[in-house]
Amino acid sequence: MTTDNSGDVRLTGIGKTYDNGFTAVHPMDLTVPQGSFFALLGASGCGKTTTLRMIAGLEEPTSGTVHLGDQDVTHLPPYKRPVNTVFQSYALFPHLDIFENVAFGLRRRGIKSVKKQVEDMLELVQLQEQARKKPHQLSGGQQQRVAVARALINHPKVLLLDEPLGALDLKLRRQMQLELKRIQTEVGITFVHVTHDQEEAMTMADTVAVMNAGRVEQLGSPADLYENPNTTFVANFLGTSNLIEAEVDTKNGDDIILKAGGGKLVLPEARCSAPTTTGGKVLVGVRPEKISLTHADDAGSIPEGRNRITGKVADASFIGVSTQYVIDSPVCDEFAVYVQNIERDGRLVPGADVVLHWSPAHTFGLDAAQSLLAGTVGSAGTEEEAA
């Protein structure tokens, strides 16, 4: 059992206000445990790169401290920090071959016998065959791996990655996500990975911090964030959520009974991050894949104890693995429902009357004093705003 914590990243009250008065990062605390794969996820302009650059020492924080393990590195220059960064533009040396690109950090430190270490690194990123090629002779994904090898050969305690897969097409991106995850597991050092792609963050990271407008809005494992979002921003930014405005009616044991559109919905109190006084408003959330669709004619067959809502099919898109329905209902005009392609009910076409139903256990509750649309495409705090 090792108690080495020298690869912990600990940010305390760290904040950044640029010279023009703009606060890119509001003072925040964040701890990344040694050896973990940590993702900073958020829309363009939310402060991800600024945060990463403060860890690297490339940006001076306006407030707070940066610790790596027990060492306060807040005032150390970048080259004195046990940290390396991989950027979106890999910035390989075009005139050097792959071997020499990877060897660069060692040679600069005056190390003569580099062969064994470089070969080990090339093996780690599976580029042994490419050692004598120049960067322009490699694919985007291969160049990206050279950049990782070049950073890792310095044995940093922490590797910072700023959208390292941003220049790759989708298929290569997916492949490289698994590859980077494998490399991280193999070397066991702390990775802090910045991305605006929620699927990328969820596939790769042990822990994800969702950032919004210079603040960490929620932090947790991918499954925890997805199943238990605490804000509408997280509910909408990570996947899709249906949100219904409801009113607290009564409590029944561990459940809250809510009124919505003339009907009742059940919400486990433990899954509600909002205050629940009788008569108060709550946003009720449910993910599209948790919902079953039953034709109104068969409504009698729906088991007791499920939350149910009536509606009409507005749109149905068959995408093979599932059908994605849009349902018009009195409580939500565009209810998204994903039905896995097992047995298709041919009656579920636009215009059909349906009942949507789901287990109360899959319901979450959010504070109603927030925008329903936060974190959706086109809303404040996403790509458009920062453009």
Ligand X SMILES: Nc1ncnc2c1ncn2[C@@H]1O[C@H](COP(=O)(O)OP(=O)(O)OP(=O)(O)O)[C@@H](O)[C@H]1O
Q: Which residues would be at the binding site for Mg ion (CB under 5 A)?
A: 49
Contact 40, 194 (CB under 8 A): yes
- Chosen from ligand X, Mg ion, none, partner binding at 46 (C-beta under 5 to 8 Å by type): ligand X
Binding positions for ligand X, rule: CB under 6 A: 18, 20, 22, 24, 42, 44-50, 196, 386
- Chosen from ligand X, Mg ion, none, partner binding at 44 (C-beta under 5 to 8 Å by type): ligand X
- Chosen from ligand X, Mg ion, none, partner binding at 386 (C-beta under 5 to 8 Å by type): ligand X
CB 164, min distance to Mg ion, A? 11
Contact 306, 356 (CB under 8 A): no
CB 133, min distance to ligand X, A? 30
Closest residue to ligand X, based on beta-carbon distance = 49
For Mg ion, give the closer residue by CB, 49 or 329. 49
Three-state DSSP at 155 gives coil
For Mg ion, give the closer residue by CB, 42 or 288. 42
For ligand X, give the closer residue by CB, 40 or 286. 40
- Chosen from ligand X, Mg ion, none, partner binding at 285 (C-beta under 5 to 8 Å by type): none
Measured at the CA of 142, the angle between CA 152 and CA 128, to 5 degrees, comes to 70
CB 50, min distance to ligand X, A? 3
For Mg ion, give the closer residue by CB, 208 or 331. 208
For Mg ion, give the closer residue by CB, 49 or 294. 49
CB 43, min distance to ligand X, A? 7
Give the residues across from 260 on adjacent strands: 263
CB 196, min distance to Mg ion, A? 8
User: Other C-beta atoms within 10 Å of 68: how many?
Assistant: 24
For the sheet with 292-295, list strands across it: 292-295, 353-358, 307-318, 322-329, 332-340
- Chosen from Mg ion, ligand X, none, partner binding at 231 (C-beta under 5 to 8 Å by type): none
- Chosen from Mg ion, ligand X, none, partner binding at 22 (C-beta under 5 to 8 Å by type): ligand X
For the sheet with 9-17, list strands across it: 23-32, 9-17, 63-68, 71-72
User: Other C-beta atoms within 10 Å of 110: how many?
Assistant: 6
CB 207, min distance to ligand X, A? 18
For ligand X, give the closer residue by CB, 69 or 166. 166
For the sheet with 364-367, list strands across it: 263-268, 255-260, 242-252, 281-286, 364-367
Quick one: which of 355, 350, 349 has its CA closest to 331?
355
Concatenated DSSP letters of 71-124: EE-TTS-GGGSSEEEE-SS----TTS-HHHHHHHHHHHTT----HHHHHHHHHH
- Chosen from Mg ion, ligand X, none, partner binding at 10 (C-beta under 5 to 8 Å by type): none
Contact 157, 125 (CB under 8 A): no
For ligand X, give the closer residue by CB, 41 or 118. 41
